[in-house]
Amino acid sequence: MDELAHYRQAGPITTLAAAPAALLDGLPADPVALCAVAHGLVIQPADASRAGVADDRLAEKDIRPAADLLRVLAGLDPRPLTAPRPATARVVGTCRHFAVLATALLRHAGVPARARCGFATYFQPGRGLDHWLLEYWNGDRFVRLDPEVLGTDVAEAPEDLAPGLFLTGGEAWQRYRAGEIDAQHFGVPGYADNWGPAEIRGNAVRDLAALAGYEMLPWDEWGRMAASYAGETGADYDEVLDRVAAATADGSPAAVIACYRTADLAVPTEHRPA
C-alpha cells in the first residue's frame, strides 16, 4: 500500500463515520488549524477536577475510538467543534486523546496523519516524559506537531517540533541501545517506579500498533509488555524491540504491518474496539 494512502485512511479507532455529522460542520482545511480545533476539545483529568467536572466523567479517559469521543462532546455541547468550549464541555482525556482526535480530524479532511507514542523532552529538563503527539504530511515531509501544547509556550514551535524534542518509543529505544541516553530518565511523571528500559519498550510497541491502525490507551498492555514491566524479559525480547524500532523508523506500511503481525506485538482481538 502507498505510504500516504495508508496514513490518509482512517483506521478502526480514528474513523469518524459514526460521529455526529453536525459537529464536523465548518472545519478548517489547514492542518495546523484543524489541530488547533482538537486542542480545544480535550481536558486532562487533573485539570478537569480543578474545573469542577464531575468525578464520574473522569472515566472518559478510557475511551478509545475517536467517534465515541465526539459523541461525548456532542452530549456536552451539540454545536460544531469549531465553537469555543468551556472546560466543562471538553472530553476528559490524556495526551493520547489530543493526538487521536487531531489525527482523526486530519484524516477526515484527507490529510495523511499518524499518532505517535513516545517521550517529550520539553516538559521537564533532562527528562523524556511519556507522551503522544502526531505527524501530518505537508506535501513534502511528515511534520511532527503536538496538539496538546499548540498555541502555548511549553515547547518551541509545537506546530513543527525540532528534531530531538520528541522521541518515538522506537527512537528512544535505538538511542538507549546505542548508549546515547540514560533510560532511567525516560518514564511517566508522578510514578516513581515507571522509569527505565521497560517504559521505552512499552511505548515502542504502542507506537507500532498506532502506525498499524490501533492507537491504544497509554496503559493498555498485551503480548509480553506486562512481563517486560515486571523485569521478566531478556535478550530475545530486546531483539524483538530492535525490529520494532527499525519498522517504526522506516514508517512504510509494508515494514510496519510485517512487524506488527507477529507474536507479542499485534493487539489481541479482545482489546480492539468493537
Per-residue pLDDT at 274: 54
CA 149 to chain centre: 14
- Per DSSP (E only), the strands in 160-207 are 166-168, 186-187
Q: How far apart are CA 133 and CA 117, in angstroms?
A: 7
Q: How far apart are CA 265 and CA 274, in angstroms?
A: 19
Give per-residue pLDDT as tens, 62-82.
Answer: 999 999 999 999 999 999 999
Which residues of the chain are under the pLDDT cut of 50?
none
Phi, psi dihedral angles at 190 (to 5 degrees): 90, -5
Give per-residue pLDDT as tens, 209-267.
Answer: 999 999 999 999 999 999 999 999 999 999 999 999 999 999 999 999 999 999 899 99
- By three-state DSSP, how is residue 120 classified? strand
